[in-house]
Amino acid sequence: MITYNEQNQTFTLYTCNTLYQMKVDHYQVLLHTYYGPRIEECDLSYLIQCADHSFSPNPNETGYDRTYSLDVMPQEYSTCGVGDFRLPSVELELPNGSRSANLRYTGYYLQKGKYTLPELPAFYSGEEDAETLIVCLEDAAAQVTVKLYFGVFEASDLITRAVQIVNQGTETIRLCRCASLCLDLLRTDMDLITFNGHHLMERCLDRAPLRPGIQSVGSIRGASSHQHNPFVILCDHDADEEKGLCYGAMLLYSGNFEAAVECSQYESSRFVMGIHPYHFCWTLAPGESFTSPEAALVCSPCGFAQMSRQFHRTIRNHLLRDPYSHRRKPVLLNSWEATYFDFTADKLVEIAKEASLLGMELFVMDDGWFGSRNDDNSGLGDWRINKTKLPEGLESLVAKINDMDMAFGIWVEPEMVNENSDLYREHPDWVLHIPGRSPARGRGQLVLDFSRKDIRDHIYRQLQAVFSSAPIAYIKWDMNRSLTDVWSAALPAERQGEVYHRYVLGVYDLLERLHHDYPHILIEGCCGGGGRFDGGMLYYTPQIWCSDDSDAVDRLKIQYGTSFCYPPSCMGAHVSAVPNEQNGRITPLETRGVVAMSGAFGYEMDLKKCTKEEKAEIRRQIQLYKTHYDLICQGDYYRLSSPFENPSFTAWEHVSADKREAVVSLIFGNQRPASPFHRLRLKGLDASLQYQVNSGEKLYPGSTLMEAGYPLPPVQKDYQSLQLYLTAGS
């Protein structure tokens, strides 16, 4: 619910558990007054105090009143160059060369339903699920209008933010910074949680208290990156899964981003999130506008668990456009670790036969099927069937796979090109490159300039020919290097600061075409694993390969960190062979299955090398996943212990919406002599119900399982697993 109080000029945004308020003050500055637990509505600007602060300038319209300064006022969208020295939200370069932005309130609009953003991913809704508020600000001297978009999903405690900058003047201006959200809080006694890592170990939780100055994470790699994720948390020092105030913020963007917090000299904090200002400069001719990516906020007064579940539900119901939203996704087998580049059609058919006999339903042909692709250094850009490997073409292969009652999927990497390809030989100028410099290679490949529509059209025509030649059910869209040498031949020198963003828009454009033309195809995103795991990609690819590291023990940390924002159903997770390809670790097949089935489940191994006992275990895992699919992929998710803090075991739980069913998964760590006995306290159950555990005769009260816990059996080997299936008694 959104209200406007005309008398005191306050906007109040209500969700089930929170309240967000801003106020237009007597100088027409839009102030941020409150965001936190839901309270009675009143004008909360009484919390803002004014005083004479040395070296904090005063706006001209205040005259000689030295008690009012933008440098200390909590603003809804911070200015720059006019007296506020903290993190700016927007920076304009005006025709006279000055850089400033001085914003004042001019009006607002209210509407049912959720706004949409041109060319950009965004949460969606019907009129009954959300409301929209648009607040208009203006820099009169610059003749620029700034429209602040707020979408309120009341039931989900989620508020979305976006910004549109419009040049209303008669001269061209340049936009040098445009944040998607600004959140000013009258406190600094908080922690900042970020999710960091590297290729093969993404989204590991890092927590640190706020300190004076600026703390930030971001990416200038052209993708949201393995190193830092565009999701962060601000929280109370003592916040944990069940208690404490926390703010979760995600950016629906797949390119360069920045999330920064500044603690001011007067113990207030400002959080700003949006496109990274590095190499960003957007030209706005008269009448033109720029729209920022969307950001989303969830405030939880009750700790991280509630915040995560609100994100999970809203992402599943209002962001994903999943062809399997109302049916079970198939269990897949990916061919990569079974064949790499060395395969024939007959070899793939034999692998698929093994998969079909074990209960798998989707066979994915990975890299190596196109052009002259026999290694990392050739073929990318030539999206046509390699007739040496597939002499009868794709249609024949797919028909044979379909005859086994298996769907067929295929791997592509459309954004890249190898120098050893027909495409590069014909169009060497189509890659991102700086004139006079030889471009850097990554994984033996160069980056196509996806900011250019002609290049995207050429790639799409090739993909269309492939995807229309046979019934394709799944696409794995990969990206295996960061962007360098970012310069486009299609833009003049003064507009090269637009290339990074135009590249991302180009990727979104091609994915949107695929979604429109092939709505039945499930697209899985990938960027060397989890290098582009963000809300922007999820809008187009409703599941994302979580990491190239498929080791079950490493995946505990990766999937744990990912779960703070993103639902398990989005996490591509496979059982692979041991010793693990990435780290050489050997873990039990049962353990690998327990970890992988907590995401979008599949396998990636040569099944012909499996023993009879291993195949029996795989059949059991697949049947288990199919039986509990709705519970795992649609249930509420609870983190029961942290792999970063508890060396003894890592545990998590999926609970049905009616709390009558739950599945608990647990992986033990390295064992030691004379290990202590452990008990596991469950969460999310109905305290008044009685539960069976693994179909046993004994009934356990829900309150007992949550407060006293469940005893864990002793184990004698490393990395053993345990699963508990709880059903409420009649």
Question: Residue 679 maps to which CATH number?
Answer: 2.60.40.1180
The answer on 353 and 245 residing in a single domain is: no
Report how far residue 191's alpha carbon sits from residue 203's, in angstroms, rounded to the nearest whole number.
17
Length of the chain: 730
Q: What is the pLDDT of residues 598-648, one digit of tens each?
A: 999 999 999 999 999 999 999 999 999 999 999 999 999 999 999 999 999
Report how far residue 396's alpha carbon sits from residue 393's, in angstroms, rounded to the nearest whole number.
6
Of 545, 560, 588, the one marking the end of a domain is 545
pLDDT, residue 676, reads 86
pLDDT, residue 672, reads 83
The answer on 363 and 313 residing in a single domain is: no
The pair of three-digit structure tokens given for residue 93, joined into one six-digit string: 């370069």
The answer on 95 and 174 residing in a single domain is: yes
pLDDT, residue 431, reads 98
Instruction: Kindly state the DSSP code that residue 329 receives in the 8-state scheme.
Output: P
The answer on 352 and 439 residing in a single domain is: yes
The answer on 283 and 339 residing in a single domain is: no
Report how far residue 182's alpha carbon sits from residue 728's, in angstroms, rounded to the nearest whole number.
45
Of 318, 347, 362, the one marking the end of a domain is 318
Active site (annotated) includes residue 614: yes
The answer on 300 and 341 residing in a single domain is: no
Q: Beta strand 661-668 with 474-477: parallel, antiparallel or unpaired?
A: unpaired
Quote the domain boundaries for residue 356. Answer: 332-545
pLDDT, residue 725, reads 98
Of 252, 284, 318, the one marking the end of a domain is 318
The answer on 715 and 673 residing in a single domain is: yes
**Pseudo-torsion of CA 556, 560, 563, 569, nearest 10°?**
10
Helix or strand run (H / E) with residue 412: strand 407-412
Residue 425 lies in a domain: yes
Residue 664 lies in a domain: yes
The answer on 338 and 304 residing in a single domain is: no
Terminal CA-CA length for the chain: 39
Of 91, 202, 534, 549, which residue is the catalytic one? 534
The answer on 298 and 199 residing in a single domain is: yes
Q: How many folded domains does the chain comprise?
A: 3
Report how far residue 651's alpha carbon sits from residue 660's, in angstroms, rounded to the nearest whole number.
20
The answer on 255 and 307 residing in a single domain is: yes
pLDDT, residue 63, reads 94
Q: What is the pLDDT of residues 18-45, one digit of tens each?
A: 999 999 999 999 999 999 999 998 999 9
pLDDT, residue 707, reads 98
Residue 429 lies in a domain: yes
The answer on 295 and 211 residing in a single domain is: yes
pLDDT, residue 213, reads 97
pLDDT, residue 716, reads 87
Residue 539 lies in a domain: yes
Instruction: Let me know: does 605 contact 577? Beta carbons within 8 Å.
Output: yes
* pLDDT less than 70: residues of the chain: 730
User: Which residues, listed in sequence order, are joined to residue 104 by a DSSP beta bridge?
Assistant: 138
Of 422, 614, 686, 718, which residue is the catalytic one? 614
CB-side neighbour CA atoms (13 Å) of 403: 9
Residue 499: give its domain's CATH number.
Answer: 3.20.20.70
Q: What is the pLDDT of residues 389-411, one digit of tens each?
A: 999 999 999 999 999 999 999 99
pLDDT, residue 675, reads 81
Can you tell me whether residue 362 is helix, strand or coil? strand
Whole-Å CA distances, 618 to 350, 401, 590, 593: 17, 20, 8, 8
Report how far residue 467's alpha carbon sits from residue 545's, in angstroms, rounded to the nearest whole number.
21
